[in-house]
Chain A
Amino acid sequence: MPGKYIYLDHNATTPLHPEVKKIITEMLESYGNPSSLHTPGRLVRQKVEQARVTIANFIGASPDEIIFVGSGSEAANTVLNSLSCPANACRMERKMREAIITTEIEHPCVLETTKCQHQRGLPVSFLPVDITGKVQIDKFRAQLNDKTALVSVMYANNEIGTIQDIKMLAEITHAGGAFFHTDAVQAVGKIPVNVKDLNVDFLTFSAHKIYGPKGIGALYVKRGTPFCPLIRGGHQERGRRAGTENTIGIVAFGKAVEMRRQEMHDEAIRLKRFKQILIDGIKENIPDIHFNGHPTDVLPGTLNVSFEGAEGESILLYLDLEGIGVSTGSACASGSLDPSHVILATGIGAELAHGSVRISMGRENTIHDIRYTVSALERVIKRVREMSTTYHRK
């Protein structure tokens, strides 16, 4: 086992950036309520607004288009729940348009919320994806009509890393007269994202996927877009999200984004190189594998691979004993009895879904980590397959 633990699960969450740690420690002294008019309050207000400007600039938005919320999931819930509001004040024109179109591979924060809305009587349709995880545009066009209120498609998938053609999807949506939301939790800070260029109406993202703290997310709402708050009862965030601000989280989020601006480009090149080494190493040393996701339109640090005859939870736990942390789409690891809905949606079948492993790399990973991972994978897969009922080679 190597000296340090090799963390390869950055799509689940990331360690804090050292600069973020530093600013969190500093912020512990800044106790003021940003709504207060006195000096301690104004001091924190200033820092919160600086963070808002940094984050807005990073995605090409105006600061007044950014709302801080408790998580990426809250951000997505806020967008989707706007739709359920029948009040004229929210200008959703519910009587005219109330249908939601989303995809089969969304994060549960969109899938579960839209399923609930469906039970409440809203028409919801789930778009299929092809074997690479891409939304099929013709199927999307066929679903879109004058009843569609909102289309919600994730930018980059958390499990297989596939990146959707958000700009085109938003354009088609707008031509159909509906609003467009993208869950960009896995995209912002990993690949360039510009809301003006994409022309989306809502975009949601989170700090802890980009070396910021847990418990802070952001929601971009294009100026002039109808909106209904999920949490009411305060004037914070211009009345769009009540509750005293998570000031430490917001400032740390700002710092995390600032560091992304500096590091993202070079890091993406490095991680792509590492991924190629992983792919080559796995191909060379382990037979009967299947790479999941799109070959090119994919997050630089994400690799999802299925091993025939090997079950994911066993692979994960044997790798953990070797000092490597990954994740799996196996049912056994999910606490439910269903394997990953994302991998199933790509149509490769339940068996390969149970045997899928996601390796998501990040800023601290080194070439040695990657080489060690290839050798550990080879050992672990050999071991799991030797015990398996279904995999037998001489």
Chain B
Amino acid sequence: MSNQVDWLYTDIVKDHFMNPRNFLKNDENFQADGDGITGNIKCGDQMRFLIKVDKEKETITDCRWQTYGCASAIASTSVLSEMIKGMQLDDAYRLTPKDVVKNLGNLPEHKIHCSVLGDKALRAAIDDYYRRNGLTAKIKHEEARIICQCMNVTDHEIEEAVLEGARTYLELQERTKLGTVCGQCQTEATELLNKYIDEHFGGNLKLL
């Protein structure tokens, strides 16, 4: 029966879902040089990357991952684990969700957010490697940082919403839908909201 109908996602996604590559086995003693995790269970997705690094060449020699999430999330991390072996740290650092989606042969629009966490977890692992090796200068703060994992809202979007008139957490939610699923980002979002209000409107803001 299942052979007669199209699968939910591409054949590549299916292949990675059925035969996930490089995931960390329970009994495996993987000596990672960098270990990073992102996402949270309440939102339904969490990913972790572990990397081994050739310190001379600054390349990723091996990696493992763990994912709590849907088929697209599992396939995203699996395909990413294949992409990064042998890759320069700098190049791996620059990978985007688009690269992951391309290597999966595409994902449905509502599943794109599942691929966002893979590259984030990888960067967290690379950052961890830099930190362990005294290379903190190499840690880049991402241009846009996702604050609300559930609705995929970045600090840039929060800033935009402030510029467009959002002054309270509720108004921010109305504009960005941020914090409408698990609500974990409320504290961080409120801090940013106040920071951007202060930055752009200083002490002269009249709360109407």
Q: How far is the CA of A351 from the CA of B182 in the complex (A)?
A: 10
Q: Mark B1-34, 1 if CB is under 8 A from A, else 0.
A: 1100000100000000110100101100000000
Q: Is the CB of A390 within 8 A of B68?
A: yes
A311-B44, A354-B41 known; A335-B110 Cβ under 8 A = yes
Q: Is the CB of B68 within 8 A of A321?
A: no
A386-B23, A386-B26, A394-B26 known; A338-B181 Cβ under 8 A = yes
Q: Is the CB of A392 within 8 A of B68?
A: no
A331-B44, A337-B181 known; A320-B2 Cβ under 8 A = yes
A314-B71, A321-B18 known; A389-B37 Cβ under 8 A = yes
List of A residues within 8 angstroms of B89 by Cβ: none
Q: Is the CB of B1 within 8 A of A332?
A: no
A337-B43, A350-B182, A351-B41 known; A309-B2 Cβ under 8 A = no
List of B residues within 8 angstroms of A268 by Cβ: none
Residue from A317, A350, A391, A393 in contact with B8 in the complex, judged by beta carbons closer than 8 Å: A317
Most buried by B among A317, A336, A338, A339: A317
| Count class of interface residues, chain B | 35 or more
List of A residues within 8 angstroms of B46 by Cβ: 389-390
Q: Mark A360-387, 1 if CB is under 8 A from B, else 0.
A: 0000000000000000000000000011
Q: Is the CB of A392 within 8 A of B26?
A: yes
Residue from A309, A336, A337, A338 in contact with B68 in the complex, judged by beta carbons closer than 8 Å: A309
Q: Is the CB of B67 within 8 A of A332?
A: no
Q: Mark B37-74, 1 if CB is under 8 A from A, else 0.
A: 10001111111100000000000000000111111111
Q: Is the CB of A389 within 8 A of B48?
A: yes
Q: Is the CB of A393 within 8 A of B26?
A: yes
Q: Is the CB of B66 within 8 A of A387?
A: yes
The answer to whether the Cβ of B80 comes within 8 Å of any Cβ in the partner chain is no
Q: Which residue of B lies closest to A328 (CB)?
A: B70
The answer to whether the Cβ of B192 comes within 8 Å of any Cβ in the partner chain is no
The answer to whether the Cβ of A5 comes within 8 Å of any Cβ in the partner chain is yes
Shortest distance between the CB of A336 and any CB in chain B (Å): 8
List of B residues within 8 angstroms of A15 by Cβ: none
Q: Is the CB of A330 within 8 A of B70?
A: yes
Q: Is the CB of B70 within 8 A of A311?
A: yes
Q: Is the CB of B20 within 8 A of A387?
A: yes
Q: Is the CB of A332 within 8 A of B68?
A: no
List of A residues within 8 angstroms of B71 by Cβ: 313-314, 317, 332
The answer to whether the Cβ of A176 comes within 8 Å of any Cβ in the partner chain is no
Q: How far is the CA of A54 from the CA of B17 in the complex (A)?
A: 49
Q: Which residue of B lies closest to A387 (CB)?
A: B23
Give 28 A-B contacts (CB < 8 Å), ordered by A residue. Answer: A5-B2, A310-B68, A311-B68, A313-B71, A314-B69, A314-B70, A317-B71, A323-B1, A330-B70, A331-B43, A332-B45, A332-B72, A332-B114, A337-B43, A350-B42, A350-B181, A354-B42, A386-B23, A387-B66, A387-B74, A388-B66, A389-B37, A389-B46, A389-B47, A389-B66, A389-B67, A389-B68, A390-B46
* The 3 nearest A-B residue pairs measured at CB: A332-B70, A313-B70, A350-B42
